[in-house]
Structure 1
Amino acid sequence: MGAIKPVSSQAEFQAEVLESDKPVLVDFWAEWCGPCKKVSPVLEELATESDAIVFRKLDTDANPEITREYQVMSVPTMILFKDGQPAQQLIGAHPKAAIRKFLGQ
């Protein structure tokens, strides 16, 4: 529980997302993205409410290979990974209730 840790390399993504024993929500975002800045505090709140899901952030500009690999075309995009595989995707800024429902909480 706590602040969302950024993922800054392919190795970190592998270890912290793909090899996690818990579901991981990855927030694909960019510094210049206004909607990303709106959704970020909502995700921070959700991250403090439950430790059943790990929350991570990935800067799409700094990590173009990972962004392409998961076909992220717009930000914010949230991908929920389960057992190392993308299970669900939510595109755009959504209110807390909608993100909570997406996560199945």
Structure 2
Amino acid sequence: MASDKVVHISDSEFESGIIGNSLPCLVDFWAPWCGPCKAIGPVIDELAAEYEGKVVIAKMNVDDNPATPGKFGIRAIPTLILFKGGEVIDQITGAVGKSQLQDLIKKAI
């Protein structure tokens, strides 16, 4: 079951919801047909609950929202990008484990 702690964001909401956010933001760029994206989904849900109030965990469907992934040069999914203060801190491509994503998040908090 998907977590209600994960923010689903669109191209039109990205600037205010992610770039303009005062909290660090981890954005999962994914698509519903992507096997590795589905595999990492439960980990994203766990992280959203774990870091609630400290980090915004968001998902963006790249099929429905092509402008933002294009802006950040995303060529493969899942790609997870960590933002802080409107800037890209780091990114990971591929279905990685929870500990790798926790290490990524720790760079921003």
TM, length-normalised to structure 2: 0.89
Q: Show the counterpart of 2:39.
A: 38
The count of aligned residue pairs is 104
- What is the DSSP-based 3-state SS (H/G/I as helix, E as strand, rest coil) of the residue aligned with 1:63? coil
Structure 2, unmatched stretches of 5+, are none
Q: Show the counterpart of 1:64.
A: 66
Cα separation, 1, equivalents of 2:100 and 2:73: 22
Q: Name the % identity.
A: 37
Amino acid at match of 2:25: V
Structure 1, unmatched stretches of 5+, are none
Cα separation, 2, equivalents of 1:9 and 1:68: 11
Cα separation, 1, equivalents of 2:27 and 2:69: 11
Cα separation, 1, equivalents of 2:23 and 2:4: 16
Report Cα offsets for 1:65-101 as digits up to 9, x if no partner.
1110000100000000111111100110011111111
The answer (yes or no) to whether the contact 2:11–2:67 under 8 Å persists in 1 is: no
- What is the DSSP-based 3-state SS (H/G/I as helix, E as strand, rest coil) of the residue aligned with 1:88? strand
Equivalent runs, 1:78-97 vs 2, <5 Å: 78-97=80-99
The root-mean-square deviation of aligned C-alpha atoms, in Å, is: 1.5
Cα separation, 2, equivalents of 1:96 and 1:9: 26
- What is the DSSP-based 3-state SS (H/G/I as helix, E as strand, rest coil) of the residue aligned with 2:33? coil
The answer (yes or no) to whether the contact 2:11–2:66 under 8 Å persists in 1 is: no
Deviation at 1:5, TM superposition (A): 1.5
Q: Show the counterpart of 2:50.
A: 49
Report Cα offsets for 1:5-36 as digits up to 9, x if no partner.
111232x1111101000100000001110000
**Divergent runs of 4+, >3 A:** none
Q: Show the counterpart of 2:22.
A: 21
